[in-house]
């Protein structure tokens, strides 16, 4: 009886694992979020400048849970590509500025990105929050989808 119970339990657990793997791999185009961390920057009017961004971090939510890094150059090359590009449908983002008192967040719509030397220049529309003329240590969190910026995961068909 114990042996039969053990065999049944193993079959049930194996079936559940196979079904879970199928659910994870069946999502064809997971949406990605992007994080650009800068050592300093400024926000004057509708112009956001971010300095010294070493790389772009991308990640997806469940069920795919894909994460990785890409160069800022690769990220910018995908900015205008695809039917759901950032240019066609500007993403929202949160500029999170670290201060000694904690983080201050500014919600923005990102309309354009351009790299000049080591400075990323963004045209933004402020949706919520207080602005800073200059700051240190900030991250820009950007909403996206697979088509917007072709991350290595999207390009290589990881899923």
Domain boundaries, the chain: 30-155
**pLDDT-derived band at 132, boundaries 50, 70, 90:** confident
pTM: 0.72
Instruction: Evaluate if residue 130 carries a pLDDT over 90.
Output: no
Residue written as token pair 């064809």: 28
- CATH-assigned architecture of domain 30-155: Beta Barrel (2.40)
- Extract long-range pairs of 69-74: CB within 8 Å, 24+ residues apart: 70/151, 70/152, 72/36, 72/115, 72/120, 73/115, 74/152
pLDDT number for residue 28:
64
- Give percent above pLDDT 90 in the chain: 43
Residue 158: phi and psi, rounded to 5, are -55, -25
Which conformational region is residue 106 in: left (phi greater than 0), alpha (psi within -120 to 50 degrees), or beta? beta
Q: What is the mean pLDDT of residues 46-63?
A: 92
Alpha helices in 32-138 (DSSP H): 72-77
Q: What is the mean pLDDT of residues 10-39?
A: 61
Side-chain half-sphere CA neighbours of 70 within 13 A: 22
pLDDT number for residue 5:
42
């Amino acid at each position: 009886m114990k042996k039969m119970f053990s065999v049944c339990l193993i079959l049930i657990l194996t079936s559940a694992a196979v079904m879970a793997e199928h659910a994870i791999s069946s999502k064809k185009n997971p949406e990605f979020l992007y994080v650009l961390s800068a050592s300093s920057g400024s926000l004057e009017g509708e112009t956001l400048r971010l300095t010294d961004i070493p790389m772009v971090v991308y990640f997806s939510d469940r069920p795919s849970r894909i994460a990785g890094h890409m160069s800022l150059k690769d990220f910018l090359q995908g900015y205008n590509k695809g039917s759901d590009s950032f240019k066609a449908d500007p993403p929202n983002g949160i500029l999170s500025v670290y201060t000694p008192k904690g983080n201050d967040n500014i919600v923005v719509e990102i309309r354009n990105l351009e790299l000049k030397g080591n400075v990323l220049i963004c045209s933004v529309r402020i949706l919520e929050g207080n602005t800073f003329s200059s700051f240190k240590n900030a991250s820009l969190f950007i909403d996206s989808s697979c088509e917007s910026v072709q991350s290595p995961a999207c390009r290589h068909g990881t899923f």
